[in-house]
Structure 1
Amino acid sequence: MNKLRVGIVGAGKIFEGSHAPAWAANPAVEIVAICDTYLPNAEEQANKLGVRRVYRDYKDMLEQEELDVVGVSTPNIYHSDISIAALERGLHVFCEKPDAVSPEEAQKMADAAKRSGKLLMVMRNNRFTPQAKFLKQYIESGAMGDIYTGRTGWIRRRGIPGRGGWFTTKALSGGGPLIDLGVHMIDVAIWMMGNPRPVAVSGAAYTKFADATVQVSADSRFGTTQEGGVFDVEDLATGFIRFDNGASLQIEFSWASNVEDDLKFIELRGTKAGCSLKNSELKLMTEIEGVLCDISPRFKGEELPPHRKNINHFIACVRGEEVPTNTPESGVDMIRILKAIYESAQSGSEVRLD
Structure 2
Amino acid sequence: MAALKVGAVGTGGMFRGAHLTAWLANPDTELVALCDSNKEAAQAIADEHGIASVYSDYKEMLAREDLDIVNVCTPNVFHSEVSVAALKAGKHVFCEKPDAVSPQEAFRMAEAAKESGKVLMVMRNNRFRSVSQFLKAYAQNGHMGDIYTGRCGWIRRRGIPGKGGWFTTKELSGGGPLIDLGVHMIDLALWIMGNPKPVAVSGSTYTKFAETELSDSEHSAFGSKSAAGVFDVEDLAAGFIRFDNGATLQIECSWASNIEQETRFVELRGTKSGFSLTNEDLKLFTEIEGMLCNVQPQIAKKGNGHGDNIHHFVDVVLGRAEPIFKPDQGVDMIRILSAIYESAKQGKEVRLDS
* Shorter-chain TM-score above 0.5: yes
Partner of 1:348: 347
Letter in 1 for 2:299: F
Deviation at 1:65, TM superposition (A): 5.4
Structure 2 counterpart of 1:275: 275
For 1:8-27, list aligned pairs within 5 A: 8-27=8-27
The one-letter code matched in structure 1 to 2:30 is: E
CA distance in 2, matches of 1:106, 1:155: 26
Alignment check: 8 A CA contact 2:131 2:301 kept: no
Report the Cα distance in structure 2 between the residues aligned to 1:137 and 1:220, rounded to whole angstroms: 33
User: Structure 1: which amino acid aligns with 2:288?
Assistant: I
Q: Distance in 2 between matches of 1:44 and 1:306?
A: 26
| In structure 1, C-alpha distance between the alignment counterparts of 2:206 and 2:101, rounded to whole Å | 19
For the 8 Å contact 2:343–2:350, the answer to whether it is kept is yes
Q: Residues 114 and 68 of structure 1: is their aligned pair in 2 closer, same or farther, counting only changes over 3 Å?
A: same
Report the AA paired with residue 293 of structure 2: C
- For 2:64 and 2:312, the matched residues in 1 are separated by 28
Residue identity opposite 1:339 in structure 2: S
What's the secondary structure of 2:31's corresponding residue? strand
1:236 aligns with 2:236: yes
Displacement of 1:174: 0.2
**What's 1:320 paired with?**
319
Alignment partner, residue 182 of structure 2: 182
Match of 1:333 in 2: 332
User: What is the TM-score normalised by the length of structure 2?
Assistant: 0.99
Show the 5 A alignment for 1:235-254: 235-254=235-254
Distance 1:209 1:333 in 2: 30
1:123 and 1:52 map into 2 onto residues whose CA distance is 26
Q: Residues 288-307 of structure 1 correspond to what in structure 2 (within 5 A)?
A: 288-302=288-302, 304-307=303-306
The separation in 2 between residues aligned to 1:29 and 1:173, in whole angstroms, is: 30
Give me the whole-angstrom Cα distance separating, in 2, the residues matched to 1:66 and 1:288: 58
Q: 2:134 and 2:48 mapped to 1: Cα distance?
A: 36
Q: CA deviation at 1:52?
A: 1.6
Given residue 306 of structure 1, which amino acid in structure 2 is its aligned partner? G
In structure 2, the residue corresponding to 1:7 is in which secondary structure?
strand
Matched, 1:122 2:126: no
The percent identity for this pair of structures is 63
AA aligned opposite 1:55? Y
Deviation at 1:45, TM superposition (A): 1.4
How many Å separate the matches in 1 of 2:144 and 2:49? 45
> Any idea what SS the aligned residue of 2:184 has?
helix
Q: Assess if the C-alpha contact under 8 Å between 2:77 and 2:101 holds in 1.
A: yes
Deviations 1:269-322 (A, max 9, x none): 0011010110011110001001111111112232x2100000000000000000
Contact preservation (8 Å) 2:201, 2:351: yes
Runs of 5+ consecutive residues of structure 2 not aligned to the other structure? none
Distance 2:330 2:61 in 1: 26
Q: How much does 1:194 deviate?
A: 1.2
Per the normalisation by structure 1, the TM-score is 0.99
Separation of aligned partners in 1, 2:85 and 2:33 = 16
Pair 1:43-2:50 in alignment: no
Deviation per CA, 1:143-188, whole angstroms, max 9, x where unpaired?
1111110000000000100000000000000000000011111111
Cα distance in 1 for residues equivalent to 2:48 and 2:237: 38
Contact 2:77 2:100 in 1 (8 A): yes
Runs of 4+ in 1 over 2 A off after TM superposition: none
- Residue identity in the other structure for 1:287: E
